[in-house]
Amino acid sequence: MATFVLVHGAWHGGWCWARVAPRLREAGHDVFTPTMTGFGERSHQLAPDVGLEINITDIGNVLLWEDLTEVILVAASYAGMVTTCVADRMPNRISALVYQNAFIAADGVAQNDLLPDWRREMIEKELAEAEDAWIMPAPDPKLFGVTDPVELEWIGSKMAPQSAKTFQDKARVSGAHAAITNRTYIRATGYPNNTFDRYLAEAQADPAWRAEVLDTSHDAMITAADDIVRIFLEVAATA
């Protein structure tokens, strides 16, 4: 039995793992799908000072208070900034890292620094036009490559605004997470992002990494749940 902690990305919440978590539990694994401060059912906690460090604490506290060890820590998108920092601070609690179209935190680097130019410029324009300049409005899920009308409606109804500080804060990473050698990068190609392409190429060139390519949207846990479950179960078999 493995222990999964599945961490959602920007504008999402723990709800996004609804097609994955039950199947992992059916296979006998423990699964946690925490929602970080300011997102999903915790959107009432959204505030200007909610940033990367608060979200790192959110996930670190799950591992701490639930007494979790040998964790398979999974990140979607923005969550890679969070989980990399958690792994750097708590490497002894983590057996494997999985990144699904996720950013990989580096010391002194913010997520804004890792966005492709077109996406960063879009967000800057939205913030400039917003009534509250610290709030990033949720994009249309079509931007992520979601095409099914039912999925578009469901995802769109769940996505919520996010504090700009989460993207602006620079990560603090010491390198301790390098001790975790079981690593997987999943590239969902339906969302164009040259940073993700670079991570994929690096993973493919490094025998310490496993690399997977899925022809699906950025929300692969929803639009390609079968593949995501398969990959996660394979990671569990090696963790």
Residue 47 has pLDDT above 90, yes or no: yes
Could you tell me which residues are beta bridge partners of residue 73? 5, 97
**In total, how many domains does the chain have?**
1
Q: What is the pLDDT of residue 130?
A: 79
Q: What is the pLDDT of residue 66?
A: 98
**Domain membership of residue 73 as a residue range:** 3-238
Q: What is the pLDDT of residue 133?
A: 87
Q: How confident is the model at residue 132 (pLDDT cuts 50, 70, 90)?
A: confident
Share of the chain above pLDDT 90, in %: 95
Cα–Cα distance between 6 and 19 in angstroms, integer?
A: 12
Q: What is the pLDDT of residue 56?
A: 98
Annotated active-site positions, please? Answer: 77
Pairing of strands 162-163, 135-136: antiparallel
The closest alpha carbon to 29, from 70, 59, 60, 62, belongs to: 70
Tens-place pLDDT, residues 80-117: 999 999 999 999 999 999 999 999 999 999 999 999 99
Report the run of H or E that residue 105 belongs to, with start and end.
none
Buried b (16+ CB within 10 A) or exposed e, 167-187: bebbbebeeebeebebbbbbb
Tens-place pLDDT, residues 199-229: 999 999 999 999 999 999 999 999 999 999 9
Here the CATH number for the domain that contains residue 27 is: 3.40.50.1820
The answer to whether 110 touches 181, Cβ cutoff 8 Å, is: no
The closest alpha carbon to 2, from 65, 74, 86, 64, belongs to: 74
Tens-place pLDDT, residues 158-173: 999 999 999 999 999 9
Q: How confident is the model at residue 191 (pLDDT cuts 50, 70, 90)?
A: very high
The answer to whether 76 touches 221, Cβ cutoff 8 Å, is: yes
Cα–Cα distance between 235 and 157 in angstroms, integer?
A: 31
Query: How far out from the chain centre does Cα 70 lie?
Result: 19
Residue 131 has pLDDT above 90, yes or no: no
Coil vs helix vs strand at 210 = strand
Q: How confident is the model at residue 128 (pLDDT cuts 50, 70, 90)?
A: confident
The answer to whether 188 touches 216, Cβ cutoff 8 Å, is: yes
The answer to whether 182 touches 95, Cβ cutoff 8 Å, is: yes
